Amino acid sequence: MRKSMRMGLLGTALLSTALAAACGSSGDTASTAAGSSDKKVNLTLGHAFPADHLTMDVLTPWTKSVSEATGGTVTIDVQGAGALGAGTVVYENVVSGAQDLGMAIQGYTPGKFPLTEAVDLPFRFTRAEQATRTLWDAYEQFPELAAEYKQTKVLALWATDVGDIFTAKKQVKTMEDMKGLTLRGPGATQNRLIEELGGKGVVMPAADVVDSVDRGVIGGLMVAGSGPKSLGMAKSLDYGLRCACYTTALFLTMNQKEWDGLSDAQRAAIDKTAGRELSIKLAKRFDAAYDGGIAALVEGGATMTVLEGEERKRWEAVGDKVIQEWVTARKAAGPSQKLVDFVKTKSREYAAK
């Protein structure tokens, strides 16, 4: 009888120990899901924008969330203002491992992201969030577009606020007002649009724009609505045409070898903080910057006009010509026409929300 009781107590004790061990193991797994048992990794994120660029309002909290999600085992040091290289080399730096993470505008490397350019085409969007949601849908729907980033781990893809026309001295309200007007454009596609509208598009470093406008070298610029304020040009520009002429795509990617070197737990934790969700947060920040930029111009005395009605239809018809040129030029890269049609449909879908 005593032997039977001793065996029963021993069995109960062993079972209790096993259950405790199992519970302890489960608790440890939960606590180490963020990677507390993983090796610590310090990553560097480089970009060529000013160190206090508006994206930092989103990316700085994001780097903190990555650290928290990984139990402090993955930290990200942000180096801005081109400390690790100009915007034109950011993506290749990430591919080669010269920097761990990079943020830049795809247009800085012409020809590298030919299908992503579909987001940059004229008169497709009115808000950055609308363009960003469309870009993510296209990224997931078109493998040819996704393949443009195959050398790296994509953490975010988003669009800037929409671009308008801002001028000094000469007001632009109609297409005829564009004739003979020299504007600094953000890229080849936008400069092509400026030319088709009757003006002259020029490429110029952002640092030279203010002086060039003040001296009359150029009549103004086509730029995202947040641009004049960030460039300190509120007092240099007398007029603005809110045309929503274009948007520009940006990326945040990570060196593939560094990504593969993280543990499964670390990668899963980072994935939860990045992707579409992070991209939309960045887009919303750009939309807010647009609203603030336009308000600053109005407060500075600039006269703002909205391109609408029949006049907008005239401009959009010119934009369609630029788009068809792009479709023809990008056929070798993939289903350019299907992509353009997809973007058009999605932009209308998200505009309605």
The answer to whether residue 172 is domain-embedded is yes
CATH number at residue 82: 3.40.190.170
**Spatial contact of 152 and 109, defined as CB atoms under 8 Å apart:** no
State how far the Cα of 46 lies from the Cα of 255, in Å rounded to an integer: 12
| Under 8 Å between Cβ of 85 and 93 | yes
Could you give the CA distance from residue 51 to residue 43 in angstroms, rounded to a whole number?
17
> 38 is written with which tokens?
């993983």
Mean per-residue pLDDT over the chain, rounded = 91
User: Domain check: are 149 and 76 in the same one?
Assistant: yes
- Asked if residue 83 lies in contact with residue 138, where contact means CB atoms within 8 angstroms, the answer is no
Do 75 and 174 fall into the same domain? no
In this structure, the answer to whether residues 55 and 105 fall within a common structural domain is yes
Least confident of 93-102, 119-128, 232-241, 330-339: 232-241
* Total of domains in the chain: 2
Does residue 255 share a domain with residue 191?
Answer: no
Q: How confident is the model over 99-122, as pLDDT tens digits?
A: 999 999 999 998 999 999 999 999
CB 246 within 8 A of CB 326: no
Mean pLDDT of 22-41: 56
Look up tokens 């980072």; give the residue.
270
- Which residue, among 148, 146, 134, has the nearest Cα to 283 in the 3D structure? 134
Model-wide pTM > 0.85: yes
233 has a pLDDT exceeding 70: yes
Q: Render pLDDT for 157-201 as a digit per residue (tens, 0 to 9).
A: 999 999 999 999 999 999 999 999 999 999 899 999 999 999 999
Helix, strand, or coil (residue 88)? helix
Residues 320 and 232 in one domain: yes
Question: In terms of domains, do 74 and 201 share one?
Answer: no
The whole-angstrom separation of Cα 53 and Cα 45 is 14
Domain range for 345 is 163-247+299-351
Instruction: Indicate the residue among 287, 315, 338 that finishes a domain.
Output: 287
Question: Coil, strand or helix: which one is 78?
Answer: strand
3-state secondary structure of 273: helix
The answer to whether 187 and 222 have CB atoms below 8 angstroms apart is no
The rounded distance, in Å, linking the Cα atoms of 168 and 221 is: 9
